[in-house]
Amino acid sequence: MNAIIEAIEHDNTVADADQALEAAPEDVIDYDQKEGVTVKEAVDWANQQRCPVTLYLYDDGKGTTSEGHFDAAGNRFG
């Protein structure tokens, strides 16, 4: 499984989204990913970040930078 994280405040731009507190700019995680992890490893990793994050889980070979995660994310910021 592949895991992607990004700061939860990125979702503030989505219509009707709950508004998260913004982290200090130096703490914001714009994007990070891990491949070949279990669900438990992904959740543990997300919970250890320096700011609150949204965790996305994908099947192996999906969701990475080359597989379109940012295409979907781009729709929120566009």
9-50 pLDDT per residue, tens:
988 888 888 899 888 889 999 899 999 999 999 999 999 999
Q: Tell whether the torsion through CA atoms of 39, 40, 42 and 46 is positive or negative.
A: positive
Residue 62 DSSP SS3? coil
More reliable by pLDDT, 74 or 46: 46
Q: In DSSP terms, which residues pair with 39 in a beta bridge?
A: none
Alpha-carbon gap, residue 27 to 49, rounded angstroms: 9
Q: Hey, where are the domains in the chain?
A: 2-77
Task: Count CB neighbours of 24 within 10 A.
Answer: 8
- The reported pLDDT for the residue numbered 69 is 54
- The reported pLDDT for the residue numbered 61 is 72
